[in-house]
Amino acid sequence: MTPGARVAAAAQILDRILEGAAAEQALTAWARSSRFAGSKDRAAVRDHVFDALRAKRSLAARAGAMTGRGLMMGLALRDDRGLDVLFDGAGHAPEPLTDTERARIAHPAEMTAPEAHDLPDWLWPAWCDSLGDQAAETALAQQARADVFVRVNRRRGSVADAIAALAADDITCAPHPTVATCLRVTANARRIKQSGAYLDGLAELQDAASQWAVARVPVPQGARVLDYCAGGGGKALALADQYDAAVFAHDIVSARMADLPVRARRAGVDITPLKTDALAQTGPYDVVFCDAPCSGSGTWRRAPDAKWRLTQADLDHLNGTQEAVISAGARLTAPQGLLVYATCSVLRAENDAIVARFQDRAPDWQVVFSEQLFPDANADGFFLSGLRRRITT
């Protein structure tokens, strides 16, 4: 496919997304109907689509049209990709710009603050309230692609070993500036899952923020640790790798953990998956890590479709789930144990507010540490709060 043909394909996919299709669904449907597209073509089209979704409102404002074609025009303008070269009508490229389109580009309307920062209108006030003087910078950071990071399984080798093993498969990495187990992938990130380092358990895909969070949790030697909302089990794997502890993993949908035993064997660690009815029988636990379901607002660079699909009703529903999660985690925590509440959100409603309401219901719990990461060049956004019961005399 020519560069122009890739742009045309991305515009077509974006139109389906704007009509209501989920991004992954629209991309999959296009790939299945476009067998002529090679792996590089599919990767390039995917990048176009996600680049456009990250900055949907500001790109549409640049081009004066909230359409697939308009978004790709706005992207070409923003990144100085040669608008007339890509939109020349040759082969399968998009048709040349009309006089009307050129007039819109020449005289764009002034963007509102939510448009310029690529957020829904309804969310902008809560975003500003939650992030304060970091609101604009963080929103703009979400317009760009996030880097790919891997975690080094230190039971399988050192950071230097991982760098060398990945380099053998032509994957270039550099150490993270603050997270000891983390490597930033600087070339050929799409090869990670086929690399020897990954298949041998030396390297695991995991964002730097998640690695940072695990490293921040004080886990005593020999502790019993529960990853309560484990999902695929990434944090359980990191906990088992980094600490001399008995690690248990649970998710309300146990099928999400289906691959965890295989991943654990590959990493050389022991993790015990638990179904919900087995939690109380196996507990209590010295550390309960609750990475609660959330809006993912700290990770919208990776899943920009979620930013535009989120509604106030969705957020209210998530808040109810988050309150249930932290309360359930508390019931499973040993009397002198540590309860950790976490999200990959930057919204106060999902973070400090949930912890505060939990403390209102359970005043014997006190916060012993609380930290908020905002998305930047080195990590996604992440919230982490540790609580213990007050010691009474």
Which pLDDT does position 348 carry in this prediction?
97
Within this chain, do residues 201 and 221 fall inside the same structural domain, yes or no? no
Same-domain check for residues 240 and 294? yes
Q: How is 262-287 classified by DSSP, letter by letter? A: HHHHHHT--EEEE-GGGHHHH--EEE
Work out the pLDDT band at 393, boundaries 50, 70, 90. Answer: low
| Domain end residue (candidates: 90, 111, 132) | 111
Other CB atoms within 10 A of residue 141 CB: 17
111-154 pLDDT tens trace: 999 999 999 999 999 999 999 999 999 999 999 999 999 999 99
191 with 314, same domain: the answer is: no
In a domain, residue 300? The reply is: yes
Judgement on whether residues 22 and 161 belong to the same structural domain of the protein: no
Q: Can you give the pLDDT at residue 35?
A: 87
Contacts of residues 127-132 at CB distance under 8 Å and 24 or more positions apart, as own/partner, are 127/347, 129/348, 130/346, 130/347, 130/348, 130/349, 131/346, 131/374
Q: Based on the fold, state whether residues 103 and 166 are members of the same structural domain.
A: no
Question: For the residues 254-270, what does the mean pLDDT come to?
Answer: 94
Which residue range(s) make up the domain with 50?
Answer: 3-111
Same domain, yes or no: 191 and 247: no
CB 92 within 8 A of CB 4: yes
Q: Name the percent of the chain lying above pLDDT 70.
A: 100
Residues 143-172 pLDDT 10s: 999 999 999 999 999 999 999 999 999 999
- In the predicted model, what is the mean pLDDT of residues 186-191? 95
Q: What is the pTM of this model?
A: 0.94
Do 153 and 103 fall into the same domain? no
For residue 175, give the CATH number of its domain. 3.30.70.1170
Residues 199 and 240 in one domain: no
Shared domain check, 321 and 244: yes
> 111, 132, 157 — which closes off a domain?
111
Domain assignment of residue 211, yes or no: no
pLDDT digits (tens, 9 = 90+) for 334-377: 999 999 999 999 999 999 999 999 999 999 999 999 999 999 99
Domain for residue 117, yes or no? no
Do 239 and 201 share a structural domain?
no
Q: Rounded CA gap, 45 and 48, in Å? A: 5
Mean pLDDT across the chain = 96
Output the domain CATH number for residue 368: 3.40.50.150
Tally of domains in the chain: 3
Query: What's the pLDDT score for residue 91?
Result: 86
Give the pLDDT confidence of 26-49 residue by residue, as tens digits: 999 999 999 889 999 999 999 999
